[in-house]
Structure 1
Amino acid sequence: MIMTIIGPIFLLLALGYLSVKLNLLSKLQIAAVGAFVIKIALPALLLQSLAAKDLHEIWFPEYFAVYGGTTFILYVAAFYILAHYFKNPKADIAILSLGASMSNTGLIGAAVLTLLMGQKAMTYISLVVIIESVFLIPAVLVLAELNSKNSKSVNVSKIIKNTVLTLVKNPLFMAVVFGILFSALHIEIPHQINQVLLMLGQTASPLALFAIGGGIVGLSLKYVNAQSMYLVISNNLIFPLLVFLGLTYLTNVSQEMVYAGTIIASLPMPTIFAMLGQAYGLSEKTLTPLLMSTIVGFIVMSILIAMWWA
């Protein structure tokens, strides 16, 4: 039973890895596949699945509060630890703390949970996307800019404006917004459009795993240190543990929701962690923990799936 779930996941990862390793596809082409998933396929899946449900079926405040609260507790804790124990500059800390408190919900989360739960997974994914897109990422971007080397000349209103524009241009976020809006207003998507969204959405899971596998090629563990290990432990071990305990003992949500939230929290760091690291000159400090987290995250996720879905 367990191999019928985990087997396809690792086969798709291996296929993506070998496609790049054997030069069947380039890293640039793999990046295009990942972009298609994030900007087209997954938003289509979110919009189609959320719009088809009633609002009470997709809004769970207890789940939202526990997952969101845990996210920001870990972010603040990482901010403090990275400043006082690892002595990083504040501009670096704003980015690095993201690695301790955010999972790869879009690519890996959607792929894995869809295989486990079908379209019900989109409910749990969408609430996490709101937490990450509306609150966490904008906060990180604002903090990074305010604490940058040019912070004395920073225009705060311009930073906020750019952050809002980035949010509005995010297809994942807009898909969740319109999906919830259609659900609340009982707006039905026309049949032909719904079918197109469904067809696009069905490509999200396999292509996401394929892109993750191909993206691993070329990464190496060159800068393994205490800081990288802390980020991985926080992201892949402490995060799922706190979410599991919070959902189990502080809420009355279903067991399925507890499992979904815990698995999402256990997933590897998001690719945006490395992208922001590159943008702010922190590639060495972000790529190694990202690769470590990818390895540890898939191990933890597999153990959880084996425990709960075997």
Structure 2
Amino acid sequence: MLQILGITAPIFLIISIGFIATRLQWISREQVAGMGRFVISFALPVLVFKALVERPLDEVFERNYLLAYGLASLLVFALGFVVSRRLRGDGLSASAISAVGMSMSNSGFIGYPIAALVVGEAAAVGLAMGVLIENLLMLPLAFALAEVGESQGLGLRATAVATGKRLLSNPIIIAICLGLLVALLGLHVPAIPMRAVDMLAQSSAPVALFVIGGSLVGMRVGGMVTDLLQISLGKLVLHPLAVLLCFSFLPVSDPSLRVAGVLFACAPMMSIYPIVGQRFGLQGRCAAALVGATLLSFVTYSLFIGWLAGPHL
């Protein structure tokens, strides 16, 4: 138990420091947002680039990992959508937003820092493949369904075009393309630029966790317990269990990569979840789910790490 706390406690301590610093106004919300942009635009893309150029491509893009993680995410998305649509009577848009909250992780800000502490370098490889699943499959699916559910939405074709433009301008997707190009051409990155890459990559985890803490300031949970429980339990329990199940049918060659995939699925939903929900008038529900899932993840992460560290590793 102490070993598990040794992994999870520092993570949530940094989150707590970010929360306290922002709550006491030692650092402003605008500064937190700027730090978040730094992580998304520079630190994480550089980390992904580093993972791609330092390993053989057959290790970086393992077919079974992509299939298992993608299939598990789709299964949880479908379950969340059906529960919201059929059992709770939500509209198409609300069902799609609830479903993506259950099936898309905060891989960069929470998933990677924890996975890196547990499995080391394999976490960066898992991050690269997870970003592909999230940005090329889960987000477009959720946006397409949500827009169809809006009577004044853009329409399916316009939504596809807009989503494509967002993907092409996403720094992490650009980093994946550059890293693939360097690896395919067999290019060698000189020592001095690579040292700068290493420095930026090392900054991603602690800054990302600090940003998560600062982002929680001001969010409210009250009056949305049912939404919070559905989305949080789906994200923190069903998603990692589904990934673990799919890995049993689609095994990966590296056990560390398998553990990394489960730990990425253990992460709460993406930090921009309330912003995604705002487009469809669901910012309150999404913010409540984000707060609840982030707090509950301390418990669920500890349980899954303890399980994976046992005979299931």
Deviations 1:52-81 (A, max 9, x none): 111112111111111100111111221222
Deviations 1:23-69 (A, max 9, x none): 10112211211121111111011112211111112111111111100
TM-score, with length taken from structure 2: 0.92
Map of 2:298 onto structure 1: 298
Map of 1:166 onto structure 2: 166
Map of 2:57 onto structure 1: 55
Q: Which amino acid aligns with 1:145?
A: E
Deviations 1:195-232 (A, max 9, x none): 22211111001101111111222223213332331111
Map of 1:257 onto structure 2: 257
Q: Which amino acid aligns with 1:251?
A: P
> 2:172 & 2:157 partners in 1: Cα distance?
25
Q: Where do residues 282-293 of structure 1 align in structure 2 (5 Å cutoff)? A: 282-293=282-293
Per mean C-alpha deviation after superposition, the further-off stretch among 224-233 and 22-31 is 224-233
Change beyond 3 A, Cα 1:230–1:156: closer
Deviations 1:265-292 (A, max 9, x none): 1111111221111222111211111111
Map of 1:276 onto structure 2: 276
Map of 1:139 onto structure 2: 141
Q: Of 32, 35, 45, which residue of structure 2 is paired with 1:43?
A: 45
TM-score, with length taken from structure 1: 0.92
Q: Which amino acid aligns with 1:102?
A: M
Q: Where do 5+ consecutive residues of structure 2 fail to align? A: none
By how many angstroms is 1:3 displaced? 4.2
Q: Secondary structure at the match of 1:203?
A: helix
> 1:10 & 1:227 partners in 2: Cα distance?
24
Q: Which amino acid aligns with 1:253?
A: S
Change beyond 3 A, Cα 1:3–1:227: closer
Q: Is the 8 A contact 1:86 1:227 kept in 2?
A: no
Moved over 3 A (4+): 1-4, 154-157, 306-310
Q: Of 73, 76, 87, which residue of structure 1 is paired with 2:75?
A: 73
Per mean C-alpha deviation after superposition, the further-off stretch among 201-210 and 250-259 is 250-259
Q: Which amino acid aligns with 1:39?
A: S
Q: Which amino acid aligns with 1:148?
A: E
Q: Is the 8 A contact 1:111 1:205 kept in 2?
A: yes
Pairs aligned (count): 308
Q: Where do residues 136-285 of structure 1 align in structure 2 (5 Å cutoff)? A: 136-151=138-153, 154-285=154-285
> 1:250 & 1:190 partners in 2: Cα distance?
37
> 2:309 & 2:18 partners in 1: Cα distance?
25
Aligned-residue CA RMSD (Å): 1.9
